[in-house]
Structure 1
Amino acid sequence: MKNFKIITCLLFVTTFVKAQQLQTFIEEAIINNPEIQAFDIRYKIAEEKVNEADWLPNTEISAAYFISEPETRVGAQRARIGIKQMLPWFGTISARESYAYAMAEAEYIEVTIAKRKLALSVSQSYYGLYETRAKQATLLENIQLLKTYEKLALTSVEIGKASAVDVLRLQIRQNELQQQKEVLEEKYWAEQSSFNNLLNRNENMLVEAVADLEIPAENELYNTDALSLNAELLKYDKLYESVVQSELLNKRERLPMIGFGVDYLPVSERTDMQVIDNGKDILMPMASVSIPIFNSKYSSISKQNELRRKEIETQKNQRLNVLKSAFSLAISQRNQARIKFNTQLKNLNQARDAEEILIKSYETGTIDFNDVLDIQELQLKFQLNQIESVQNFYIQQSIINYLIQ
């Protein structure tokens, strides 16, 4: 029992280390990936628009010179200088800021989605590297096994219990496995290049993928309610909120604007007579109101916002259906991978039992090397299928994690 606890602990530590290794790659990709950097910049631009929203209409400054000076009681008016500032209705600026903030939040969700998609791509590529390396190791193991059989065949040839054809068959089989191993090596370099590009680093940089992975004893149970946390759905919530804020801003902007200003008129002194306040300049404060009488523009925007809200609701429902289908498919394929793995494990154990029987037959001098090749081929098939099942299990688990986390 004590030994069992030690083994279980070691398996947990190994699994944890492997997960940490992949997580490290994902974090590096998020930091270095140009697409993520572009999304971050877009988010920063959207954030800056919150500051941009705090603006007022341009201050109007005017100046005029009277060519024909109008006479007043206190003298002739020489010029007119005015300054005016229009102010939006109360709450308009805060509504504008709220709308800009809602748009920034929608951009932030886009950043989150991009990061999660990148994490999924890195995971899938990483498990592709695992598959290739694991298959290479299996092929090498089988090549070594065939070399052992070749020695047995050579010994059998010497004592007249086998023919040189058996030896040649074993050698041909080794050549075929060696070819598969070399082809997988080329595949590994291509996958490694793609993996490094995801991390935006030198494509020839060596990647040490895990040599072995194990399917957990039990599947984690999930429910479609967890999809509500998916960033792709949260994006629609943020877009909906931005439309709500857009409508609040539209209602504010259709309200009047208030203007305040002052006009200054310099006046020349009269020389023909003396009057009270002779030549006194004129200072004239002013107030104005800008009323949007023709407001069909704002009515149209309100209608557009209402249609946009309905559009977002239907888009969210459609996307939820797509995510549910993807979720169900990933769960099914993950379970299929476990079933296939267990079946291949049983077949592999039975093939090894058959191999053991053949080896014992050799001791009595009745070994059939055709049977040896058949059993070896079956073993290799089951081993490679197991590796593919493990890879598919973890890829489907990555998709599940993307969908629910």
Structure 2
Amino acid sequence: MKYKSIQIKIVLALGSCFLSLFANAQQLEILIDEALTNNPEIQKFELQYKRASEKVNEVNTIPNTEFGVGYFVSEPETRTGAQRFKVSAKQMLPWFGTITSRENYVSSLADAKYEDIVIAKRKLMASVSQSYYNLYANKAKQEVLTENIKLLETYETLALTSVEVGKASAVDVLRLQMRQNEMQQLKDVLQQQFLAEQTNFNNLLNRGNDVTVNVVDSLMIPSEDFDITFEKLVLHPELLKFDKLYQSIEQSELLNQKESSPMIGFGLDYINVAERPNMDFSDNGKDIVMPMVSVSIPIFNKKYKSQTKQNDLQQQEITAQKQERLNALETLLDKANNERISARISYATQTKNLQQAKDAEDILIKSYETGTIDFNDVLDIQELQLKFQMNQIESVKTYYVQSTIINYLIQ
């Protein structure tokens, strides 16, 4: 029966841990969704993408139609009569496929701009998560300080009792009180830091700075880490953006080749001719209509050759930038993974040290029951216990912050 009771306690403890993690994930997911909806930086990138997409309609045009009107101040005489005025119209048309190439080029730039939205969303999710875990760590440290202050108050009561029976001095009481003052100071400083971090968090969600942020009461490091695959890193939007920029240069070169082709123009001239007086013959006063075809040939095409060379160099530059960024992301991922492992090791060590500190505390309490207690030892043990508790909280925060970085890189 005792064994079954222990099993039930273990199951309940694990269940409580999993429920805590699930509640944390669910609450954080809601906050992240709110940030993605309201954050002005995301809205900025979305508007930039819409503006870049709208440029497709801008380039889907042909050159302006040219109209001209001329009046003959000195009317030239022809066989059929004097020319009085001239009206002309002309339309140049780009080479076949030029407009389509322009649309493809602008669309490729819009695709690259879309990756900015994806990157900004990932960064925002990471920032919200990291700020949330900073708030959790701050709150947990305040609670630890509150518990330790209460513990020192208990020790102070023991010390006062010992002073009355001559087993301790007033100095021991003063030391305990000074230690309480130090802890209260730390707690007050943490409270101010919490308010500052809360303002940062609310700004990420684009809401009022005075909105209270509720965080989970406790976080535990999970028993196993999720797998990390460096192969997923190549699919990161920061790298995909370079691919799309490379493709946009390809479209730019195709457009450059089209624009280096001739342009064809079609036009029509109309000349008004007055009738010759006192004469009767065929075509007297007949107006002149003259259809025209023109060709614009870029004979001096150094501009287009230079653009081709620039496109080639820009593609090489993008390839180098992508490799540089890939190396940086790989370094960041490896560092985050190692620091997460270190956080797990530190947490295990602090847990062991904390248990030993509590055992030492129990020994001191039993010593008091036998009539002897060294309050210097009490302060030393209490200081160690506080140190281990703070380090334990910091290890949990570090674990989740590094997990956030890993998620940013490979999820």
Give the structure-1-normalised TM-score.
Answer: 0.96
1:327 paired to 2:319? no
Pairwise CA distance, 1:380: 0.5
Distance in structure 2 (CA, Å) of the matches to 1:76 and 1:4 = 112
Give the partner amino acid of 2:79: R
Partner of residue 92, structure 1: 98
Runs of 4+ aligned residues of structure 1 deviating over 4 Å after TM superposition are 1-7
Greater shift after overlay, 131-140 or 149-158?
149-158
Partner of residue 45, structure 1: 51
2:135 pairs, out of 129, 133, 136, with 129
Partner of residue 26, structure 2: 20
Partner of residue 113, structure 2: 107
1:378 pairs, out of 381, 384, 387, with 384
Partner of residue 402, structure 1: 408
- Give the secondary structure class of the aligned counterpart of 1:272: coil
Distance in structure 2 (CA, Å) of the matches to 1:266 and 1:12 = 92
Pairwise CA distance, 1:169: 1.8
Alignment of 1:134-173 (within 5 A): 134-173=140-179
Partner of residue 257, structure 1: 263
Contact 2:20 2:219 in 1 (8 A): no
Pairwise CA distance, 1:216: 0.9
Partner of residue 81, structure 1: 87
Distance in structure 2 (CA, Å) of the matches to 1:32 and 1:378 = 44
Give the partner amino acid of 2:216: V
Greater shift after overlay, 306-315 or 386-395?
386-395
Pairwise CA distance, 1:209: 2.3
- Give the secondary structure class of the aligned counterpart of 1:62: strand
Pairwise CA distance, 1:381: 0.4
Deviation per CA, 1:365-402: give whole Å up to 9, x if none: 22222211111111100000001111111111111111
Distance in structure 2 (CA, Å) of the matches to 1:86 and 1:146 = 90
Partner of residue 187, structure 1: 193
Identify if the C-alpha distance between structure 1 residues 43 and 22 changes in structure 2 by more than 3 Å, giving closer, same or farther: same
Deviation per CA, 1:151-197: give whole Å up to 9, x if none: 22222233333232222222221111111111111111111122222
Pairwise CA distance, 1:332: 0.8
Pairwise CA distance, 1:218: 1.1
Greater shift after overlay, 197-206 or 334-343?
197-206
1:230 paired to 2:236? yes
Distance in structure 2 (CA, Å) of the matches to 1:271 and 1:196 = 90
- Give the secondary structure class of the aligned counterpart of 1:266: strand
Deviation per CA, 1:262-320: give whole Å up to 9, x if none: 11111111223211122222222211111111111110000000000000000000111
Partner of residue 289, structure 1: 295
Between the two proteins, the alignment pairs up a number of residues equal to 405
Pairwise CA distance, 1:142: 0.7
Partner of residue 309, structure 1: 315
Pairwise CA distance, 1:355: 1.1
Deviation per CA, 1:225-265: give whole Å up to 9, x if none: 11112111111011101101100100111111111111111
Give the partner amino acid of 1:175: N
Contact 2:20 2:218 in 1 (8 A): no
Identify if the C-alpha distance between structure 1 residues 201 and 106 changes in structure 2 by more than 3 Å, giving closer, same or farther: same
Pairwise CA distance, 1:73: 2.9
Pairwise CA distance, 1:3: 5.6
Identify if the C-alpha distance between structure 1 residues 340 and 359 changes in structure 2 by more than 3 Å, giving closer, same or farther: same
1:339 paired to 2:345? yes
Partner of residue 126, structure 2: 120
Distance in structure 2 (CA, Å) of the matches to 1:265 and 1:210 = 86
Contact 2:273 2:287 in 1 (8 A): yes
